[in-house]
Structure 1
Amino acid sequence: MKRHTLTLISLFVATILSAQLKSDPQAIAVIDNASSKINKATYYTSIKMSVKEPENNKITEQNMDLRLAGNKFYIKSKDMEIFFNGTTQWVYFPELNEVTITNPTTKELQEISPMAIVKNYKNRYKVIFEQELNTPKQHAIALIPNDKSEDVFRVRIFINKSTNEISKIESAYRNGQRITLNIGSYKTISSGTDTFSFNTKKYPNISVNDLR
C-alpha cells in the first residue's frame, strides 16, 4: 500500500485544526471499547479495500480475509498471505513460493493491519468525533496525527453503536491518496496456535528472506 495526501488548502486547514483540537475522552472510550472487543475472542471478517490514486483519480479495489485475536492477525488477499503472531511477521507470496520474515515496528504494523491503528493510537493522534458524520447507528471518529511529518494526515474510523464493531476505516495521505477499508460483519471462530504463524517446513523449496 503506497501512501500520499491532499491539496495544499486541505492540508493547511487540517494542520490548523489539529493544532487547536484536544482529544475527546468520549471518543477515546468508544475506540477503546472497540479494541477491547477484539481482545476477547478470535474473529473472522472480510474486507473490501478501495485505493484512490491522486494522479488520475483511478480507484482500484481488492478483497481480503482477516482473522484477528488480540494483537495477532492473519490477512489473505489474491496475491499474498500475511501472518503476525504478536512479534514476528511473515509475508508469503504463493506464486513465487517466497516468504519474507520481519519483526515489524508499531508504525509498520499500522500500515499493514487495519486494526493495528486502533490498538496503538494513543500518544500519536488527537482523537475527536466527526459530528457531521455521526448517525444514529454509527460513531464517526477522526484520528489526527500529532506529528505533522506523518504520511497520513487523517484517519476516520466508523464504529457500529450497537455492536462496538469497526465497520469502516478511511485514511487520507499527504500526497492525495485515499484508502478506504469496508469491513464486513464479525464472526467468532476457533483457531489454533498456527493460525497466526507461518511454518516454512510445510512449503518445499520455499525461498526465505529473513530480515529480523
Structure 2
Amino acid sequence: MTFAQYDARALETLDAMSKKYKSIPAFEANLAYTLTNDTEKVNEEFKGKITVKGDKYRLVLPEQEVINNGTTVWTYLPEAKEVNIDSYDPNSDEINPSKIYETYKKGYKYLYLQDKTEGGVLCEEIDLVPEKKDAQYFKIKMFISKKDKSVQSFTMFDKSGNRYKYTLTKFNANANPADSYFTFDPKKYPGVEVIDLR
C-alpha cells in the first residue's frame, strides 16, 4: 500500500495541465459520463457536453442541465419541468467541472502511478487523495495526455462504492460562447417550475 504524498512527478504534470487550461479563454467538449458500482451492480452511461468559460460552465446531460455563471447554479430537469436555483459556493467540497484542472492545488495529495493508454491516448495516471478524511470523494483518478497535457478522463470514487467517470472527447479550444449561455432564462422554458433554494 503506497501512502499518498506530494509527488514531484505528479505535480509537474498537474501544473502543465493546469497551465494549458488556464490559457484557453473558453472550451467545449463532448463528455461520456459513467456511473458504476460493483456491489450494487450499477453501470449507467450518459453522453453529454460541457462548455467552460472562465468560472462559468454549462453541463448538458440527457436528464439534467447544470448551469453555473460563477455566482448562481441552475439545475434544470427537463422531464420534471423544474429548475432548482442555488447560490454557488466556491469553497464547497463539490467538484466543479470548470475547475477540475485546479482541484489538486488545494486540499489534495497526489501521486504519479504509471504511464497507461486510456482511450487510445498514452497518458500519465495520477491519483488525487483529499487531505480531509470526511471528504465526499476519497480519490480522484486522472488520466492526463503525455503529449499535450489535456485531461483524457477523470474518475471520482465515493465511500459507498460509486465511481463517477468523465471522459472528454472532441475538445474544442476555440469555443466562443456568449455569457448569456451560462444563465437559465425561465421565459425560454414555458411551464417550467422555478424552485429557489437561495
Q: TM-score by structure 2 length?
A: 0.85
Provide the aligned C-alpha RMSD in A: 2.3
Alpha-carbon distance between aligned partners in 2 of 1:129 and 1:102, rounded to the nearest angstrom: 36
**Aligned with 1:123 (options 103, 106, 126):** 106
Q: Pick closer, same or farther for the CA change 1:202–1:79 going to 2, 3 Å.
A: same
**Aligned with 1:78 (options 56, 62, 79):** 62
Cα deviation for residue 58 of structure 1 reads 2.7
Counterpart amino acid of residue 195 in structure 1: Y
Q: Pick closer, same or farther for the CA change 1:66–1:100 going to 2, 3 Å.
A: same
Query: 5 Å matches for 1:93-132?
Result: 93-106=77-90, 107=92, 109-110=94-95, 113-131=96-114
Cα deviation for residue 206 of structure 1 reads 2.5
* Residues 171-192 of structure 1 deviation map (CA, whole Å, 9 limit, x = unaligned): 2222222222221131121211
* Residues 132-163 of structure 1 deviation map (CA, whole Å, 9 limit, x = unaligned): 64899322111011111223221111111222
Task: Check if 1:148 corresponds to 2:133.
Answer: yes
* Residues 32-59 of structure 1 deviation map (CA, whole Å, 9 limit, x = unaligned): 3323333322111111111112433331
**Aligned with 2:188 (options 202, 207, 211):** 202
* Residues 103-137 of structure 1 deviation map (CA, whole Å, 9 limit, x = unaligned): 23343540xx4453432332311012113648993
DSSP 3-state at the match of 2:45: strand
Report the count of equivalent residues: 193
Alpha-carbon distance between aligned partners in 2 of 1:54 and 1:138, rounded to the nearest angstrom: 25
Alpha-carbon distance between aligned partners in 2 of 1:90 and 1:137, rounded to the nearest angstrom: 36
Task: Check if 1:158 corresponds to 2:143.
Answer: yes
Alpha-carbon distance between aligned partners in 2 of 1:149 and 1:94, rounded to the nearest angstrom: 33
Note if contact 1:38-1:70 (Cα within 8 Å) is conserved in structure 2: no
* Residues 54-107 of structure 1 deviation map (CA, whole Å, 9 limit, x = unaligned): 433331111111111222111111111111111111111122321111123343
The percent of aligned pairs where both chains have the same amino acid is: 24
**Aligned with 2:44 (options 44, 60, 66):** 60
**2:27 corresponding residue in structure 1:** 43
DSSP 3-state at the match of 1:184: strand
DSSP 3-state at the match of 2:33: strand
Note if contact 1:43-1:189 (Cα within 8 Å) is conserved in structure 2: yes
Note if contact 1:38-1:69 (Cα within 8 Å) is conserved in structure 2: no
Pick the structure with more strand per residue: 2
Alpha-carbon distance between aligned partners in 2 of 1:92 and 1:171, rounded to the nearest angstrom: 23
Alpha-carbon distance between aligned partners in 2 of 1:178 and 1:167, rounded to the nearest angstrom: 16
Q: Which runs of 5+ in 1 are unaligned?
A: 1-12
Pick the structure with more helix per residue: 1
Q: TM-score by structure 1 length?
A: 0.80
Q: Which runs of 5+ in 2 are unaligned?
A: none
The 4+ residue runs of structure 1 with deviation greater than 4 A are 132-136
Note if contact 1:38-1:68 (Cα within 8 Å) is conserved in structure 2: no
